[in-house]
Amino acid sequence: MEKSRIGIIGLGGISQVAHLPVLSKLGNVSIGAVADIEKNRLNQIAEKYDIENTYTDYKEMLVEDNIDAVIIATPTNTHKEIALDCLNHGKHILIEKPIARNVEEAIEINKTAAEKNKVAMVGMNFRFRPDAMMIKSLIASHEIGEVFYLKCSWMKQQSSSEKWFIQKNRSGGGVIIDLGIVLLDLAIWLIDYPKIISVSVQSYRHKTTEVEDTAIGLLKFENGAVINFDVSWTLQSEKDRFDLTAFGTEGTAQLNPLRAYKKIDHSTTIDLTPSQSANPKNLYRKSFENELKHFIASMKGQTQTISSSHESLERMKLLEAIYKAAETQKEIIL
């Protein structure tokens, strides 16, 4: 089988922790080239993974290297330019979340991907967690009835300590665009994208100046469902914490740890939880492995793209409403 040649632009934390280790072990892929503006890091990564072609200017990589697709893992303010350059050079792209800083940039990326007939996927790895896929299956098969309420939370340190990360003109926002977009993408995907009718959000800047470090919000849907969420870089907790609970008319399912129960009558409850639960570290790695495998399959035309630039454009529109609700401190009707 001919291997797909993948290039990576940006060799920071997510590339080192997830993309490079996973891609290096996939049999149908080769890491054809890498690009990073920091030459020392570039050379260290190339030596570690035996990558021959290295570039400090990604544009040279697009011109000189025969690669099929590119993973973009750079600061958010560079996503649009790099994505458009890659697409215009005939490359499929996987952009680490968020797709861009705002709706306008997301529109340009999505439009160009459609014009060039190339896959533009955005890294929403939570969808690819095995436990999340299990809950998606339970909800889709109505094992817990109609889901009417999802409660989800994610508290962790900033995903990056780089200065750009808390500069609004470069990052597009704070914890909402960092953690909130992934959490809400997962929750909305689980209940199969019902129409959102309103958004209410309260945000805080306890440790930051330009962007929010904590946010609490409520989304209401046309079908009567509600999502309550909170995300924070600064709320005090013993350790990083992510959890989600889906309440249905006949049962409940939750993530991290995976649990599922179904009420039969007033005195009988069935435990739907799988007998073996994966280690959280394995779930994290597996989510990226599944995501990257899906990206490769979709760029080969073997499956329809999940978490496409078109879907991400809709998430950016939601994000725009969330930030408006936080700024005005009013419920925003969509």
What's the CATH code of the domain at 236? 3.30.360.10
Last residue of a domain, one of 99, 124, 149: 124
Last residue of a domain, one of 77, 102, 124: 124
pLDDT-derived band at 161, boundaries 50, 70, 90: confident
pLDDT one-digit tens code per residue, 72-98: 999 999 999 999 999 999 999 999 999
Q: 86 with 188, same domain?
A: no
Q: 62 with 197, same domain?
A: no
Give the pLDDT score at 318.
Answer: 98
Mean pLDDT of 249-270: 91
Last residue of a domain, one of 124, 150, 173: 124
Tell me if 15 is assigned to some domain.
yes
pLDDT at 277 over 70: no
Tell me if 163 is assigned to some domain.
yes
Burial of 237 (0-12, 13-18, 19+ CB in 10 A): exposed
Asked, as a colleague might, if the bond just before 98 is cis with ω within 30 of 0, I would say yes
Give the pLDDT score at 1.
Answer: 64
Whichever domain contains 109, its CATH number is 3.40.50.720
Mean pLDDT of 234-239: 83
pLDDT one-digit tens code per residue, 199-228: 999 999 999 999 999 999 999 999 999 999
Amino acid at 142: H
What value does the CA radius of gyration of the chain take, rounded to a whole number of Å? 20
Give the pLDDT score at 17.
Answer: 95
pLDDT one-digit tens code per residue, 283-331: 889 999 999 999 999 999 999 999 999 999 999 999 999 999 999 999 9
How many whole angstroms separate alpha carbon 100 and alpha carbon 105? Answer: 6
Mean pLDDT of 138-152: 96
Q: 43 with 145, same domain?
A: no
Lowest mean pLDDT among 113-117, 274-278, 284-288, 324-328: 274-278
The number of CA neighbours under 13 Å toward the Cβ of 14 is 23
Nearest one of 213, 247, 244, 214 to 129, comparing CA atoms: 244
Residue at token pair 């011109």: 63
DSSP 63-99: HH---SEEEE-S-GGGHHHHHHHHHHTT-EEEEESSS
Contacts with 69 (C-beta within 8 Å, 6 or more apart), sequence order: 4, 5, 6, 7, 91, 92, 93, 94, 119, 295, 296, 299
pLDDT at 64 over 90: no
Tell me if 273 is assigned to some domain.
yes
Give the pLDDT score at 276.
Answer: 67
Lowest mean pLDDT among 15-19, 269-273, 293-297, 301-305: 269-273
Query: The domain containing residue 47 runs over which residues?
Result: 4-124
Q: Are 1 and 28 in contact (CB under 8 A)?
A: yes
Q: 134 with 101, same domain?
A: no
pLDDT at 278 over 70: no
pLDDT at 129 over 70: yes
Q: How many CB atoms lie within 10 A of CB 308?
A: 18
Q: 145 with 114, same domain?
A: no
pTM of structure: 0.95
Alpha helices in the chain (DSSP H): 13-14, 20-23, 39-48, 58-64, 79-88, 103-116, 130-140, 168-171, 175, 181-190, 280-299, 309-328
How large a percentage of the chain has pLDDT more than 90? Answer: 89
Give the pLDDT score at 135.
Answer: 96
User: Total domain count for the chain?
Assistant: 2
DSSP state of 128: G
Q: How many CB atoms lie within 10 A of CB 83?
A: 29
Q: 162 with 51, same domain?
A: no
Give the pLDDT score at 275.
Answer: 75
How many whole angstroms separate alpha carbon 165 and alpha carbon 178? Answer: 9
pLDDT at 158 over 70: yes
Give the pLDDT score at 104.
Answer: 98
Which tokens is 26 given? Answer: 């996939």
Q: What is the mean pLDDT of the chain?
A: 95
Tell me if 295 is assigned to some domain.
no
pLDDT at 194 over 70: yes
Q: 138 with 31, same domain?
A: no
